[in-house]
Amino acid sequence: MASMLSAKLDPSLRAWLEAAHALGKPPMCELTPLEGRAAALEMMKSACAEPEPVARVEDIRIPGPDTEIPVRVYTPQSAEPRPGLVFFHGGGWVLCNLETHDVACRAISRRSGAAVISVDYRLAPEHRFPAAVEDCYAALDWTAANARSLGVDRSRIYVGGDSAGGNLAAVVALKSRDEKGPAIAGQAMVYPVTNLASFDTPSYEEFADGYQLTRASMEWFRNHYLREPEDGLHPYASPLLAPDLSGLPPALVLTAECDPLRDEAEAFAARLETAGVAVAHTRYEGMIHPFFSLSGVCPRAFDAFQQVADFLRAA
């Protein structure tokens, strides 16, 4: 498989992928969710940079629609009131937690001066769609209601995340617009999933296998997350399919060149722009889907952290 990898690939990621392929571990789609979570945690631990110090890091629990939601609040050394980022981790709605995205959240908080509220939403298949959406929206609501005690400027609350977390950020922005919920200053999405109804894009074809996130693993995630296939047509599962994207907050969309999700994420950015939303989009050349979580082997992850931080500071 390694010899078939695209010439577009960044050399550091090519070496990392070749080493991963040589281990001969079973693919995600052959694991149970529990096995997948253990594998993801192990991979992230080995591939993440050292966590950077932040003035205060606190684990708390906030009210959720069903049970309390664990969140981790990162407060940097910055003047109050500061921006706030409600952050949703990736992992296909099945994997990952506060620990897997600790390095990214610390880096963004330090570079932006924003408080980052990282949300440990309920995972599938134990809790299927729309449980994650409900938890993430509840976290936005809580952040807005508690902005003063968080030292956050209520007019500068952002949502963001990577992959499935980017999907949840887009969906929370839609839901808040639809339900006249808390005002959102911007949405930062790193290679978001935007269409669970169809995997029919050129990037899905070109990068179907061998680039960490595969078509088969996306089918595995989708099957665990959705209650039934028809859920994939709902805008709160597939924001690209929302009939109207007007009136949404400004968006930052980061995509990876060698990622099956590239085309749907870029299509979402284009649709937002057509709907009159201010959009900044960067395609990271030579990058693969989880590069944002590979800061220990891929220095360009820090460019992405900085770009998210700059987006939060812009207001």
- The band of 2, judged by pLDDT with boundaries at 50, 70 and 90, is very low
Model pLDDT for residues 224-279, shown as the tens digit of each residue: 999 999 999 999 999 999 999 999 999 999 999 999 999 999 999 999 999 999 99
- The band of 4, judged by pLDDT with boundaries at 50, 70 and 90, is confident
Residue 234 falls in the annotated catalytic set = no
Residue 5 has φ and ψ, to the nearest 5°, of: -65, 145
Give the per-residue pLDDT at 315.
64
* CATH class of this structure's domain 2-313: alpha beta
Residue 163 falls in the annotated catalytic set = yes
Catalytic residue among 259, 263, 293, 295: 259
Catalytic residue among 101, 224, 234, 289: 289
H/E run at residue 198? none
Number of other CB atoms surrounding residue 271 within 10 Å: 17
Domain ranges of the chain: 2-313
Residue 259 falls in the annotated catalytic set = yes
Model pLDDT for residues 84-99, shown as the tens digit of each residue: 999 999 999 999 999 9
CA–CA separation, 142 vs 158, rounded Å?
13
Q: At 265, list the tokens.
A: 């994420």
Catalytic residue among 109, 118, 163, 203: 163
